[in-house]
Each structure stands twice: as C-alpha cells, then as structure tokens.
Structure 1
Amino acid sequence: MDELVVSTDVYVAPEEAYEFLLEFPRYERYTEYLDKVSRTHGDGGPGSRYALRFSWWKLTYTARSEVTEVTPPTRIDWRVLKDIDASGAWLIEPFDELPADAPADATEGCRVTLSIRFDADSADSSSVSLPPLVSFGWVLDKVKGLVAEEAERVVRRAVADLEGRERQVSLTVRTDSEAL
C-alpha cells in the first residue's frame, strides 16, 4: 500500500476548516485533472457518495468515492468504491497556540493534513479504454507520478480559499512509496 501525506498550517478556526473541507464538490477547482465532482447521495456526511470525473492525456475516468466517517471538527474519512483500493482522510488539528511564523493578523489556526493510501497494483485495467499500443502499466506509472503533485496543489489552493488570500504555503510532504 502506497501512502502520501501532505500537511500545512491554516490560519482559520478548526471548525471553519472542517466545514470547508467537508464541501467536497468544490475540489474540481483545485486540480488540473479533475473536471467535475457530483454528489450522488447524501449531505456530505457518512454515506455521502461522489462521482469524480478526471481527464488526463487522452483518457477520461469517473471515480466513485464515499465518505466513510466524520469526526467534527477534526476528521473526514473517505474511500474509493471501485476499480482501485484507495482511501484517505482530511485531518484538522487545532493549535494550542499560534506558531511564531503565523501571519500578524491571525487569531487562530490549525494543522490541516491530507492523507491518501492506495494500492496501485489493485487498479482494474478494464476501467479505462486505452488507445491502441498503450499499455495499462505505462498509464499507471504516469498517473502515480502525478498523485503527489496533485495532492500538493489541492492543499495549496484550499489554504488560499480558506484564508481568503494567496500566500506562500509551506508544505510537509511524506511518501511511503518509491513511485511518488
């Protein structure tokens, strides 16, 4: 199982960060390859399901995901329902006190972490229609290389929306995979 963890500090109330991250359909604005997110069931809480329409190169694919558990305002867990063994979580950890490098106007904040776990070998090769002479292994290798880049982009853009301004965002990135 591969794992990618991206985290950063956000200078808003933990409850605000949680509510923002729970609103999954807005994620399509954050990535280069996610074209559309549709909620197909639920209100954002446990059991809510989403269709995520991705496009990259000459391929399109719709992933199906589900929110599996929420612990307001600190955690949102999800999983992919078909074609690959993948899951993840958003974690929100309130600060006891603001870090020394916090913006001067910050009054509260939290550490926000996106954690993604996936087994690339579990990917179903019949889930995408490939052009002639293109192997599923080639596509999988290319996509694995994009996962970390996309996760970092999502976190950076979420911070800008949460705080209402662009700023230099320092990310902590940890991977447990040679592929990422």
Structure 2
Amino acid sequence: MKFTAVASALLVASASAFAPAATTERASTALNMDRRAAFGAIAGAALVVAPSIASADGAISAATIQRAKFTYGSRIAALKSAVSKGDFGAVAAEKNAFVLFNSGVYPRAKDKDAKNAAIAGTNAIFAAIRSKDTAALKAAYDSYVTANDIKEPAPLSPDVGQGYSSDYDYRVRTKQAAVYVR
C-alpha cells in the first residue's frame, strides 16, 4: 500500500516535469540537470520506497501455529520414554524442537506471557540436564508438556478419513499420514 502511494507520487512528479510551460515564451527542451543530481534524485526515491518493500508480517496465522504445534510438539511428546529413562542425551539432542516450538506456537505479541512461560519451562528442562538430575528433568518435562498442552498425535486410520493430500503437507511421514483409497 505504501509502495503504490510512493509510486503514484513519483509518477505525478515525473509527469509535471514534462508538462508544457505556462508562459508564452518557448521553454527549453534541454534538461537542466546533471547526472549527479539525477542519480541523487533516484537514490532519494529508492530510500523512500525501500522500507515499504520489505514489510513482511512473518506469515502468522492459525495454520502456521497449528503446524508448529504438531511438528515440534510431536517431537517433544516423543521424548516421554527418554525422560522416564533419564536419557539426558536424547533430550539434549532435541533442543531445537523446544526452541522452535516456543517461537512457532507463540509468535504473536499477545502471546508474550505464554511464550516467556514456555521459555522458562525449557530453561528448567535444560538446567536439569546440566545438573544430571533425573527427578528434576521428569518434573520440568511434565510441567512443560502440561502447560503447553503437548500431546502425541493419535494414529489416523485410512478407514476413518484422510490425513493429508500432498507431499507438502506437514503430516506426511507421521502417524497422521493416512490416505483414503477406495
């Protein structure tokens, strides 16, 4: 929207430069501008337009939040047996799943408190890993899973319905990847 306003302003400015003079004298057709001034004007217009070009919103929607919750929540839920065994290495290997879950499920400004709580839960899990405390790891993991409503997705039977429709769906190669075929 900003781009169209700036573009229309530039269009009006360039059109007025070529408008006929209002006096009865014949105007000179020579441009009274050297190259340095012309490139300065172009660079100035580019600086005005440039900030509006790169204004992406991060594609935050209910679908991207659901996708992050499914993708990274599944990885976190799969750590349940490793946590119960006290396998610190397996949990530490999935550190990125925790980080990506926190940033993907709580991307909006209104979710700031929930995101801070999730980050605090992640920090508690990794503090237990650093101290090699199995009981603290179990408690922190259970608290994190409960607070963020993380569940292992139930397998979907092809008899019940279809789980995905293309190879680009986030449920491909998971328990939810069922395709109904007659």
- Scaled by the length of structure 1, the TM-score of the pair is 0.22
Between the two structures, name the one with larger relative contact order (CA 8 Å, sep ≥ 6).
Answer: 1
Larger radius of gyration: 2
Q: Which structure has more strand as a fraction of its residues? A: 1
